[in-house]
Amino acid sequence: MKIKIRLYLFFFLIVLFNGCSEKQPKEIKKIVLLGDSLMSGYGLSSEKHLDKILQKDLNLSGYKITIINKSVSGDTSSDGLARLDKILEIKDTDLIILGLGANDMLQGIAPQKTKKNLQEIITNIKNENIEILLAGMKATTSRGLSYKKKFDEIYPELSKNNDIFFFPFLLKDVALNPDLNQSDGIHPNFNGVKIISINLKKSIVELIK
């Protein structure tokens, strides 16, 4: 009898331990986009902006998520940091997609300064217990290979050092494709935005799981 009781207790503890150790899905209901013109919808009508497309894609996949776009064309990492307090005042934000740095690169701002600004943004967001999805950027070679190397290293290092979710390149499958960009060759057109949305949706779904 004592042996049976011990066996029941043993199996009960195994079930209890396994149940506690399972990774719990994250509840994401509200996402804020914090970026520049690449996420703000530059050159596109409002119904074609990333927030609208991404929210629709997520909703069609069964996720009841609201997207708020707080991206501003022309913003550098310094600009994003300067207005972060206002963004953190948005109630019930579960996730912030951070996509700043492209304008830093275009202006030739020192990569160490960009990294410092992004680190401060990340720290402040984490202090509010808000999840972060860092959308990386890659530099062109126009400022030299040394600059490109230092800039490109910013995002994977921040992701690793802060243990945050990471999408390596915001413009994956879109950059340098004339069919997916506006006439300036920089900003995504509607078809480009749709691809960015699909890529980000995959990362968000992975984050939730």
Which residues carry out catalysis?
A: 37, 184, 187
Answer yes or no: are the C-beta atoms of 37 and 170 closer than 8 Å: no
Distance between CA atoms of 145 and 5, rounded to whole angstroms? 69
CB 73 within 8 A of CB 36: yes
The DSSP bridge partners found for residue 96 are 32, 132
